[in-house]
Structures are given as structure tokens and as C-alpha cells.
Amino acid sequence: MTSILPSYVNSAWWSPADPAAEADAALVRDASTGEVITAVSTAGLDLAAALDYARTVGQASLGRLTFHQRAMLLKQMAQVLSERKDELYALSSRTGATKSDSWIDIDGGVGVLFTYSSKGRRELPNGTVYVDGPAEQLSKDGSFLGQHIYTRLSGVAVQINAFNFPVWGALEKFAPAFLAGVPSLIKPATPTGYLAEAFVRILVESGLLPDGSLQLVSGAVPGLFDALKLGDLVGFTGSASTAERLRANDSVQTGGVRFTSETDSINASVLGQDAVAGTPEFDAYVKQLVAELTAKSGQKCTAIRRAIVPNASVDDVVAAVQARIDERVVIGDPRAEGVTMGPLASLEQRDEVLRQVARLREGGGEIVIGSTDAPSVRRADGSVGEDPAGAYVAPILLRFPDNTASAAHTVEAFGPVASILGYGSTAEAITTVARGDGSLVTSIATHDPQVAVELVGGIAALNGRVLILDRDDARTSTGHGSPVPHLVHGGPGRAGGGEELGGIRAVLHHMQRTAVQGSPDMLTAITGVWHTGAAVATEGAHPFRKSLAELRIGDSVHSASRTVTLDDIEQFAQTTGDTFYAHMDEEAAAANPFFPGRVAHGYLLVSWAAGLFVDPAPGPVLANYGLENLRFVTPVSPGDSIRIDLTAKQISPRETDEYGEVRWDAVIRNQNDETVATYDVLTLVAKELAA
């Protein structure tokens, strides 16, 4: 009897209570041997209750944490998964993934958690509100301001994932949702859902997951969309037809549920006309094309489906690809020694790929590499031969003599299959890329900057990502088919029109941007960032004598004045070597439309300002680590005086250290109270005073 793969809902593992569910459960098989691994059924699962649990318990548990606290949990989750990744690798081989394929999926997924943990602590405040841009002054006297902020959505992030990356595909959606403070309900694809269940089980056993922050539904989700409502959002990866059907649901159309999709994409890779056989770019192009044909057996949404090459280079590319396949590719069970390309995820997927290859051939494509016949493979025991129980397909390259043939740009065989199309000019290459009606990624192999400029200018709007490959970056390039968490993943048109990853952008997708209007004091209270015009506290100890435990937003020092002399300017010029005419030549400076005559160096003023506001004795301020947003507004002439107002603007304690960052609002003014310069001073301050 085959056990049913459990779901994880309401902070508990769940399996169907009705014994009859086993008879109707979908069987999941080993991609190489056909052996039954598990069965999948959600018969009797209350999906509406799982959603409500996320909206209540999950929202409450995540809402008690700041961005930085959530980021630290992501790091700890990544560490736990890293420690137990051998378990995941063993299971991953049953999906047809080789060790290198599993590295992309498992280590890639763990890497997403590490990246979002790091970016969350570096780029988000240690609070729960994200401030978007500077405040807008809406009144002459500054008493009424406007500020854009982001706050988390009030619902649940439903994440529907494809079969090809059961770990990475889930974690790249989960990490930004978790960091935003929105609970996730993950729905993996059936053929590889057991690997998703395994990593979720590891996280559950770790005790790191706040209650309700992550739920897993292992199987079908009938009625799920009918239970969604305003505040919920859906991230979908899969076919365009399924995305269209889901997007048509009333909850999305009229119920306010956000829906983003990443779907079919006939991605292209363009070989520049300068990249002829024998050049490093040609070699890098061929290496990349073979890698995209064979990694994950071509089951990647970002894989190259159209190799667009100069007419004169088509034969050279075909020959080079064939030679590299012959040299490098060994098809078989990933558990067999020496295998470099495994089977597709299931027999059903194999049959679907072969159906699409038939459509490509009917549409004008001619197979020039590979065959639709069952390939000879290396079995786990080392024997070699055909294996009808495994979902094997050899790498296939089809040539389309007519680069306008519709099938080449509309039919995707989601496996080790690509088409090669010739072009005569860069303009024709751009047109050929455009026939794909929107892609996740297009790569360009060229060492000619002008070719790169023309191609990127013509295709960027058709793609979510463009990669330029040449001799300078071929060794370090992450590759055509590898999205990275720092950059956006998604694309227009056929690719779904959605956007994932992209660093903090993905976190903000799970939040609502709101324009808040009010007084400086109110906006300071709401955002945790001091706004000009809000209350300041100048009494008591100098702010630099206060630890983070004592320091408050609005604590301020108003300095004494210091007069600038011509001797000061000349001495600074000689000491620094900055003898720019505006500081040293009265006649030339007076002829400048911005200066009344010789003026003080801006950096002299900033240096003096530091001397005016600093409390020099050892104390809780550990270091000044930078200035940001420096602007010089009013020139300072000899005889003018300056003073500075320094105010604690934002306080961000670090979760892992005994100190934190303090951002200070700095304004230098002259004797007429005119603003001379504005900037932010960044310091590291101890959480507690040293004993």
C-alpha cells in the first residue's frame, strides 16, 4: 500500500482520513525507474480553514517581528537546510535531477534565503514600515507633509509552483513573502511535490517557523480561488493556459486578489555577427547552448528555445553543438556514475515533449541533432541500453530554414529541445527575437559594444532579463538560464507579465504602497523616521553620549558658530591640493554664475561641521561610517559663519551585534539662517553603555 504524501496546514501534518482516498490518489513515480514513490490526495482538506489560519495566526505571528527579525529567521532556515541537504539531494535524484541539477534547485533555493536575509538587514529598517522616497512638502510652512510608505498585505500569499524546481521555485516565492510579513501557502506540482514536502518538514522540525507562516498543500486545490479575498495574493508558475484560467477567477477579476504569473517563454539566444567560429564568444555561446539543452534535461522556464545565429554561422554552430554533446553528455539514471543528464520528471512529461517536437517538425523544423527515438541510457547498476520505464529524451536541435515560421516562436517543447534560426542583419535578429511575443530572458554573445547596444535597445522591452556574454565575463557569468535573487525574474507578454525576485522589489510586491499625509510629528511617529519640522530634544546629555537604549528619534544638537576666513580657505587648498579656481582666483570665481567671488570648499564646511557637532570623548558612538545625500546649497564666502543642526533621524539596532546604525539629519546653516548644505551622517552606536 502506497502512503499518501501529507500536507502541512494549521501548524500540523494532515493526511486524508477517508481510506477511500488512497484508491483515488495520484501515483508519483521515480523518473528513472518508474517505481512508485508516493501518492497524492487532498480529499477532505479544508482549504478555506487553512487560508483563515494564515490570515489570523500567521499574520499575528509574523506581525510581532520586525524586518530584521524575519531576516534572521531566513538565515537560520538556510543554515538548517544546508546542514540536511544530503537528504534533499537523495530525494532529488528520484525526480531525474543529476547532482549539478540538484545544486541548482537545492543550493539555489538555500541561496535565495541567505540573499534575502542579507538584503533585508542591509536595505530594510529594523521595523515594520518601509518608507518610499523623500517626504513631499505640501504647505509653505512645512506643517503639512506627504510620505509614501509600504505596509504588509493583510492576507496570505498563495504560491503555485511548477514541477521543475520544487525547492528553489518554492523558496524564491516564500522568502520575500516571509520578509514582508505575509504568510505563505505553498502548492507544489504533483510529480516532484515529495521534495517540497521534505524541505518543509525540515523547517517544521527546526522550530524556526512562526505559527501559520508557512503551509503546504500536497495535491489538488479545488475551490481555493473561491476562498481568496482582498489582501491575498497569488504567485503562479506554470503554463500560460492555466494562468489565463486562474486569472479569470472572480476573486482576481473583481475581488481585489493580486495575481502574478511566470509562464511559457520561448527564450532566445543571439550570436553576434562578430562572434564567428574560433572566437571566445562563439565558444562561450556553444557551451551555454549545450548547458541549457541538458541542465535539468531542458526543463527550465529560462532555457534557450531559439538559437538565433548569423546565416553564415548556422552550420558551424550545429557542428560545434554536436561535438560538445558527444564529448560531454551521458544520459541515464542520476544515481549512476558519470551520468550528466537525467530523465524528464515523468513519463507524461516525456510524452508531452515528444508531442511538441512533432508540432515543431510539422511547422517546418528539421531535426539536425538528436532523435525522438528512445535513447540508450546508463542505468543505476551501470548497464547500458534503452529503458522504457524511464522518462528519457535525448537532446534535440531543430533547424528552421525560415526564421519567420510560426512554430519556432510559439511551440515550446519543455525538455532538451531548441531550434536554430539564421538571420542576416542585427535588425533582422531583433525582429526574430520579437516574434516570441515576450520572454523571460534573451542572451547575446558578442564582443562588439555597438552590436550589444543595438540589440539591447531593440529587445530589452521584450524581455525580463538580458545577458551579454563575451570573453570578459564568460568565466564568471551566472548563465543564460539562471535567475539570481538580486535581479528581477519574469517577463512581458507570453512570459506572463509578472515579476519575481529583484531583491527588495519582491518584498514590496507583498506590501501596499500608501500615501500618508499629516504633520511632521505624525509622519515621524508612523514611519520611525524623523521628518523636518518634527519635535526635537536638545536638553540633557549630548546625543553622542547616549547608547541606543537611551537615544530617541529627534534627539538633537544645535552647534555654536564658526567664521570662515580667507586664510582658512587657502590653508585647506594647500593641505588637500584642491586649488580649484572658485577657491583661489577671485576674478575667475566672480565670473562664475554660481559664486559671488572666492568661496569655501564644500568639504571644508563638512569637515568643520563635524568638529562643531562631535563630542570627542570615548562613548557609545563607535564609528562614523559614511555620508549620504550630500547637497551643497548656498556658497560660503570669507567672513561668513556656519553652524550645524544634527538630529537623530533613524535608529536601527542590529539583531546580531551589540551595536546598531543611527542615521542623523545634518543641516549646515550660515549667519542668515540660510541652508548651506544638507546630508545624512551614518554612525555605529553601542546598544548599551560600556560598564
Q: Looking at the chain, how many residues does it have?
A: 691
Angle at the Cα of 378 from the Cα atoms of 372 and 384, rounded to 5 degrees:
90
**Given the C-alpha cell 508612523, which residue does it identify?**
526
- The H-assigned helical ranges of 380-519 are 406-410, 426-434, 449-459, 504-508
Give helix 67-83 / helix 168-180 axis angle, nearest 10°: 160
Q: Which distant-in-sequence residues (6+ apart) come within 8 Å of 174 by Cβ?
A: 159, 184, 186, 214
Q: In whole angstroms, what is the distance from residue 572 CA to residue 579 CA?
A: 9
Active site positions, annotated: 262, 301
Cell numbers given for 521: 510629528
Query: What's the DSSP call for residue 486?
Result: T
Lookup result for grid cell 495566526: 57
d(CA 260, CA 247): 9
The C-alpha cell that represents 428 in the structure block:
533582422
Give the torsion sign (CA, 206, 209, 211, 215): negative
Running DSSP on this structure, what letter comes out for residue 416?
A: S
The three-class DSSP label of residue 457 is helix
Q: With contact defined as beta carbons under 8 Å apart, do 432 and 423 qualify? A: yes
Compute CA distances 73 → 65, 118, 319, whole Å: 10, 11, 50
Q: How far is CA 522 from CA 67, 140, 280, 529, 647, in A?
A: 22, 18, 60, 10, 17
Which of 426-432's residues contact partners 24+ apart within 8 Å by CB, and which partners?
A: 426/273, 426/451, 426/454, 426/455, 426/458, 427/458, 428/403, 429/270, 429/308, 429/455, 430/454, 430/455, 430/458, 430/459, 432/268, 432/306, 432/308, 432/403, 432/404
How many CB atoms sit inside 10 A of residue 401's CB? 11
Residue 623, strand partner residues? 684
Tell me the DSSP string of 110-152.
HHHHHHHHHHHHHHS-SSS-EEEEEEEE-STTS-SEEEEEEEE
Provide the H-helix boundaries in 130-279: 168-180, 193-206, 240-247, 250-253
Q: Which of 40, 44, 38 is nearest to 2 (CA)?
A: 38
Q: Which contiguous run of DSSP H or E holds residue 445? A: strand 439-445
Beta strands in 459-574 (DSSP E): 463-469, 488-490, 499-501, 511-518, 556-558, 562-563
- What is the bridge-based pairing of β-strands 641-653 and 562-563? antiparallel
**672 C-beta neighbours (distance < 10 Å), count:** 9
Q: Tell me the sheet residues that pair with 366.
A: 399
Q: In the structure grid, which three cell numbers stand for residue 194, read together?
A: 515529495
Are the C-beta atoms of 107 and 79 separated by less than 8 Å? no
Distance CA 587, CA 609 (A): 28
Q: How far apart are CA 108 and CA 167, in angstroms?
A: 8
CA distances (Å), 495 to each of 28, 147, 241, 440, in order? 28, 34, 12, 6
